[in-house]
Structure 1
Amino acid sequence: MTAPTALPPRLLGLSGSLRRISINTALLRALQARLAGRAELVIFPLDEIPPYNGDLDGENAPAPVLALKQAIARADGVIVSSPEYNYGMSGVLKNALDWASRPAMRSPLKGKPALAMTASPAFTGGVRAQHQLRETLSATLARVIARPQVVVSATVEQVQDGVLVDEAKVDFALAAVDDLLAEIALLRKAAG
């Protein structure tokens, strides 16, 4: 009798850009295609997440917020990719992470392995937003993967059919996802 095969890890991708031709979403889609068979990557759109309002927190949270929290809870790990706006992460992403961080100390992000990435048309690839993104994820009590920063400088011309096609850049990001998958494997093993 053979032991049951573990299900592939389920990853949740959050893009901090709502643009139709988003480099961050294109990066997540490229990773999604390359991970087929090794892990499932579901990209959760942030378009319908309303501005954070503490009066609507908890049981009164809007349906899109509840869906986001459920998606995070079901995932084994999260990949968060943000553009850089004025040296920081996008407001859309910060807002979504603020909603997801509730209730404090018991959010679905608590203890969740999380990989931070930035992608930007600038040659720096959003490196200045990386620090803010990592700090925010740490504040949610997520397990931010300790590794060199994943910053991807890309142009809209490198996006074809909504997917980043620069293989070297996708390979660079994929190496970081391998670190995320290794952390998930360690947690699964520890859980027995």
Structure 2
Amino acid sequence: MTLKIIALSGALRRASYNTALLRAAAGMAPEGVTIALRTLHGIPLYDGDVEAQGIPEAVTTLREEIRAADALLIGTPEYNNSIPGVLKNGLDWLSRPSGEGAKLFGGKPTGLIGATPGGFGTVQSQDAILSVFRTFGSDFWMAGRLMVSHAGKVFNDDGQLVDDKVRGQLQQFVLGFVGFVQKRSA
């Protein structure tokens, strides 16, 4: 059985540390597991007037990819001690129309990692996002969280993970999360 995990980056920046972290995680997927990287590019700012005209195609496409996946892995930056607006906006769109969040994320095995140039990792962003996913009823993997500090030293200019300690932590995280997902899929 092949497991498919959607890795959703909460950043839009081309050189995003979180996208790089998810890309590195995808490269560590064990045999029989695919980790497919997705971003929130193309999703407009949430506006009820836009929603009344129909859910944007970028939202529908991402929603169907998440729905078809066995699990979701989110890479979140931390802005102003909380969830970045682009990630919260994407989650708001994915939860529309009302009730869709519970349908999409309810029971979905979900993991969380994050990287930041600062010294405190993404602890406050990760704590804040738990509240959102609790509302959705996600099956959140609480045995592991990875918060990468000083990301500018962990990745090179090409976005490659160059820190052996973080590489080991990420490998342990990926294997633990995959194990969690496999138990839920059995």
TM-score (norm 1): 0.86
Maintained 8 Å contact 2:72/2:110: yes
Residue of structure 2 in register with 1:123 after alignment: 119
> Which digits, 9 at most, give the CA deviation of each residue in 1:154-178, with x for residues without a partner?
3334323223222321321332222
SS at match of 2:103: coil
Are the equivalent residues in 2 in contact too, given 1:158–1:164 (CA < 8 A)? yes
2:44 matches 1:50: yes
**Aligned residue among 34, 38, 48 for 1:40:** 34
Structure 1 runs not aligned, ≥5 long: 1-5
Are 2:142 and 1:146 aligned? Answer: yes
- Residue identity over aligned pairs, in percent, reads 31
Secondary structure of the structure 2 residue equivalent to 1:108: helix
* Residue 65 of structure 2 is aligned to residue 71 of structure 1: yes
Distance 1:137 1:23 in 2: 22
Runs of 4+ in 1 over 6 A off after TM superposition: none
* 8 Å contact kept, 1:100–1:109: no
Q: 1:123-177 deviations in whole A, cap 9, x for unaligned?
A: 1111111110111122222111112432111333432322322232132133222
Q: Secondary structure at the match of 1:79?
A: strand
Moved more, 143-152 or 67-76: 143-152
Match in the other structure for 1:111:
107
Change (3 A) 1:148 1:40: closer
Q: CA deviation at 1:50?
A: 0.8
> Which residue of 2 is the match for residue 159 of structure 1?
155
Tell me the C-alpha RMSD between the 2 structures. 2.0
Question: Which shows bigger deviation, 120-129 or 95-104?
Answer: 95-104
Q: Which residue of structure 2 lines up, in the alignment, with residue 3 of structure 1?
A: none
**Cα 1:154–1:32, aligned 2, differ >3 Å: closer, same or farther?**
farther
SS at match of 2:105: coil
1:80 CA displacement: 0.6
Aligned residue-pair number: 183
Call closer, same or farther: CA 1:13–1:58 in 2, change over 3 Å.
Answer: farther
Q: Is the 8 A contact 1:27 1:170 kept in 2?
A: no
| 1:14 equivalent among 4, 8, 15 | 8
Q: Structure 2 unaligned segments of length 5 or more: list them.
A: none
Conserved 8 A contact 2:70-2:185: no
Aligned counterparts, 1:77-92, within 5 A: 77-92=71-86
- In structure 2, relative to structure 1, the CA distance for the partners of 1:170 and 1:98 (3 Å cut) is farther
